[in-house]
Structure 1
Amino acid sequence: MYEGIALLADPIYGYIQFSVPVENGPPEQTEKDLIDTPWLQRLRKVHQLQSSFWVFPSGEHSRFQHSLGTMHMAGRFADRLYPSLKQVFGRRSPSQAYVKEILRVTGLLHDIGHGPFSHFFDQNFLEPLYGTTHEEIGQRIVTEKLGEIIRGIRRSPDGPFEKDEAIQPEHIAFLMRKPDPGAVEQMPEWLQTLQPVFSGIYTADNMDYIQRDAYMTGFSLDMVDIDRLLYYTFVTDRGLTLHRSGSSTLRRFVNARFTMYADVYFHRTNRAVDLHMQEIFQETIQLLFPFDPRESLDGYLTVSDWSLLEGVQHWVTDADPRRRALAAEWAKILNREVKWKMAYDHMETMDDPRGKKFWSAQDLEAAIRKHLPEGLRHIPFKVDMARQDPRPLNPWTEETKKILIYDPATGKASPSVVADLFRYIPAQVAHYRVFALDHSHDAELAASTQAALASQGQDAFTTNL
């Protein structure tokens, strides 16, 4: 009964099971083969918390640990969902072992494309230079580099697939990110139904990282009852559904996620460090890794937090003065010499997108300069805008965030009760912070920011972030 299964100790779940080859058994591909690839092992060298580890000293965990946790959580989703999935789709639904494994493998690989400092790498390198994201790179890694292993897996930790069942790497790639409508239509309906396990409001991904990041940083969260949330989740003919008895648990989870973003991921010092890194990041990456990651996946294997930070240290004595200058700036960051000091912060919320739009950081900075005393309009300062979407603006129309609530009194599942459920949780939040090089003009910056925000009008906005 213990053959072909091994355990990983984990601080959140106690133990995580994963499949391994049976000793003296026939050759096979297992989860261990995926875990031991250079692609998964690279994630040990990518921080889970971007730059938050400079603020929370114990938050040194990696994307690798989170990927293992997401694999485990995805398997728990499968255990809970399969009976109702089978009831809805009948013979069109694959075996339970197959469904569980496709979700587990997706959880394991969902972050496989992340680069140095995770989402910061997307926002400051991949997107502006190449118009791509870590998810798109991850999809290519899955289909082009890991496809052979994925297709060779024939069992989950619970047992073997049915005859002729084999996981398609394209199905993993589909579940990894929000696809275009054309891609949805090409996928089996049962697979479409499982997409919210990775792209909904509560997912295998965020149900792991909210718990894991809170634990690893020492941040105190209100109760997040994962067991109850999973217990009341099932499949109907309309899609993934939550029983009304689990609705209060969902509200607490969404509120916990909102709190983690506000107090951990968007901590003021994190954002100050990010502002400093923005000044040198793109140039540093281009010098260290002078290739298009879309065209050189093998080269991408060398790209990580570790290789970046080690690489810039070698520039301290470089003959090139520009490299020496970049090394000096990275040394300040590594030594936690925080360049930008917060002068003012302000949070705005939005529940109706027709009512107003958020400022962009660039537009708000320009407006603040207009309100500053003339002699201070050219002082160096920066505006940072951190945005999050705690819950859907419109639960009827946002397909990837749609939440169906089952009411046993009517026997129907509908998103109509979601408005009441989330009444006291904002749909969108913008956290504006003004940073300066010192605190000499905090009062003037605060007054000018307040004046700019008070005078906001439609002509001031160029984007709806």
Structure 2
Amino acid sequence: MDYKNEKLAEEKVFKDPVHRYIHVRDKVIWDVIGTREFQRLRRIKQLGTTYLVFHGAEHTRFQHSLGVYEIVRRIIDDGFSGRAEWNDEERLVTLCAALLHDLGHGPFSHAFEKVFTLDHEYFTQAILTGDTEVNAVLRNVSPDFPQKVADVIGKIYPDKLVVSLISSQIDADRMDYLQRDAYYTGVSYGHFDMERILRVMRPDEEQVVIKSSGMHAVEDYIMSRYQMYWQVYFHPVSRSAEVILMKILHRAKHLHAAGYSFKYDPVPFQSFFDRSIELEDYIALDEHVLMTYFQWWRKEDDAILSDLCNRFLDRKLFQYAEFDPATEYRKIGELEQLFKEAGIEPEYYLVTDSSSDLPYDFYRPGEENERVPIYLQLPSGELRELSRSSEIVDAISGKRRTDHKIYFPEDLFEAKQEEQPLYKQILEMLRK
């Protein structure tokens, strides 16, 4: 039997707290899971710094990737297989794209990307098509198979239905992370009736559509996602930790450029600082490496780097205050000047952060760069965009909620406010 269709002698299963079991019968999938690049995802947390707020949120991109694969496997094998609208020849490329969609995430994901101006989807595709173990496995299917998987993840694959299973307004990626993140954070917001949604999913020419009788299950899914973003993903304390993490990396990058002599030379970061990143450099970096350096950098002579590392590792996070840039735009400039007069570097200790700048996709059908909206399939076969039938979805479509915060080391000012009036003035201004 050719490798593409080869099955394992005995089905392998992963015990999973969200899906109960994850089933693997295809040898290609099993071999991909065993590669170095996929195993690296065990060392990348799914929720970055969120574990400093919700202590159970230690789950990884590895777990999530398996979960997305399992949802897609169920959709295809239990729902789509044999239907005229679905091409069974696309099964393996879809399963591989589901499994590998997060392969290129770096340590602490989005925060790391921002500091070094990286794109995890670019690196996912580079790992798939480069000189890697994953590429070697996929090439055994066919020479062009790695590129096909990369094209699905890059959203340029010719079969748009395949792409929609991995990346759309109602895809397997979101269905897994909402439930998984809710489970590990201990909140109830992310739960929805996935079983019902899977039963009413239908393949259409260019995307997944939902049988109209399943509309309420989709409404529940959308509201779950909305609540998870504001209660978990954009939690202000988690954002405080992310701010400090980014400032650590910014400081290390600045010191390297200035010729600072590190006690513990940041060899794994060298190519990131110099913008000369090779694929091997990227693959070799994970959160264990970062945390090791943070431990070492506690002892650096540079007071800022040492302090920021201590804050992150010991959870001595910045306090936050509400901030409205529309009416308080002058406040930041005044505070920066006061910080400098107090001998505190505002670049590292006075930070504004907005949740609207973070990856967040409201349901805004028709807007530029918006993903294709969710369609309901009526009994007549006609497709109708979801917000035209659902008052709940219509009420939140096109409405972007923003949240601005100022982050600052309140503990530093409080300790010295009695002996230094300037510190007291700064605190009063921040707390207004």
TM-score band by shorter chain is 0.7 to 0.9
- Higher mean alpha-carbon deviation, 275-284 vs 292-301, is at 292-301
Counterparts of 2:169 and 2:210 in 1: how far apart (Å)? 11
When the two chains are superposed, the root-mean-square deviation of aligned CA atoms in Å is: 3.2
Q: Which residue of 2 aligns with 1:269?
A: 237
C-alpha displacement of 1:406: 1.5
Q: Which residue of 2 aligns with 1:10?
A: 16
CA spacing shift, 1:3–1:110, aligned 2, 3 Å: same
Amino acid across the alignment from 1:133? D
**Secondary structure at 1:264 match in 2:** helix
Counterparts of 1:294 and 1:143 in 2: how far apart (Å)? 19
Q: Which residue of 1 aligns with 2:295?
A: 313
CA spacing shift, 1:284–1:105, aligned 2, 3 Å: farther
Q: Which residue of 2 aligns with 1:65?
A: 63
Counterparts of 2:368 and 2:201 in 1: how far apart (Å)? 21
Matched, 1:107 2:98: yes
Structure that is richer in helix per residue = 2
* 1:205 aligned residue (152, 167, 173): 173
Counterparts of 2:276 and 2:216 in 1: how far apart (Å)? 43
Amino acid across the alignment from 2:353? D
CA spacing shift, 1:295–1:371, aligned 2, 3 Å: closer
Matched, 1:337 2:316: yes
Per-residue CA deviations over 1:397-418 (Å, capped at 9, x if unaligned) read: 766232222222x431132626
Q: Which residue of 2 aligns with 1:88?
A: 85
Answer yes or no: is the 8 Å Cα contact 1:344–1:435 preserved in 2: no
Q: Which residue of 2 aligns with 1:459?
A: none
Q: Which runs of 5+ in 1 are unaligned?
A: 21-28, 154-164, 179-183, 347-358, 448-465
Counterparts of 1:203 and 1:81 in 2: how far apart (Å)? 15
Q: Which residue of 2 aligns with 1:413?
A: 383
Counterparts of 1:284 and 1:65 in 2: how far apart (Å)? 31
Counterparts of 1:371 and 1:412 in 2: how far apart (Å)? 59
**Secondary structure at 1:9 match in 2:** strand
Amino acid across the alignment from 1:175? V
Matched, 1:242 2:210: yes
Counterparts of 2:58 and 2:403 in 1: how far apart (Å)? 25
C-alpha displacement of 1:384: 1.4
Q: Which residue of 2 aligns with 1:304?
A: 286
**Secondary structure at 2:59 match in 1:** coil
CA spacing shift, 1:30–1:294, aligned 2, 3 Å: farther
Answer yes or no: is the 8 Å Cα contact 1:392–1:398 preserved in 2: no
C-alpha displacement of 1:143: 1.4
- Higher mean alpha-carbon deviation, 376-385 vs 268-277, is at 376-385
Matched, 1:175 2:152: yes
Counterparts of 2:249 and 2:17 in 1: how far apart (Å)? 33
Matched, 1:124 2:115: yes
C-alpha displacement of 1:281: 1.4
**Secondary structure at 2:15 match in 1:** strand
Matched, 1:138 2:124: yes
Q: How many residues align?
A: 386
Answer yes or no: is the 8 Å Cα contact 1:344–1:442 preserved in 2: no
CA spacing shift, 1:236–1:446, aligned 2, 3 Å: same
Counterparts of 2:144 and 2:25 in 1: how far apart (Å)? 15
Answer yes or no: is the 8 Å Cα contact 1:396–1:402 preserved in 2: no
CA spacing shift, 1:220–1:167, aligned 2, 3 Å: farther
CA spacing shift, 1:227–1:345, aligned 2, 3 Å: farther
Amino acid across the alignment from 2:329? A
Counterparts of 2:297 and 2:393 in 1: how far apart (Å)? 51
Counterparts of 1:315 and 1:442 in 2: how far apart (Å)? 29
C-alpha displacement of 1:426: 5.1
Counterparts of 2:144 and 2:392 in 1: how far apart (Å)? 37
TM-score, length of structure 1 as denominator length: 0.74
Q: Which residue of 2 aligns with 1:437?
A: 409
Q: Which residue of 2 aligns with 1:290?
A: 270
Answer yes or no: is the 8 Å Cα contact 2:18–2:179 preserved in 1: yes
Counterparts of 1:445 and 1:383 in 2: how far apart (Å)? 12
Q: Which residue of 2 aligns with 1:152?
A: 140
Per-residue CA deviations over 1:237-275 (Å, capped at 9, x if unaligned) read: 353211211222111111111111111111111111122
C-alpha displacement of 1:167: 7.4
Once the two structures are aligned, what percentage of the paired residues are identical? 25
Q: Which runs of 5+ in 2 are unaligned?
A: 1-6, 257-265, 415-423
Amino acid across the alignment from 1:267? H
Counterparts of 2:74 and 2:212 in 1: how far apart (Å)? 20
CA spacing shift, 1:446–1:313, aligned 2, 3 Å: closer
Counterparts of 2:280 and 2:104 in 1: how far apart (Å)? 12
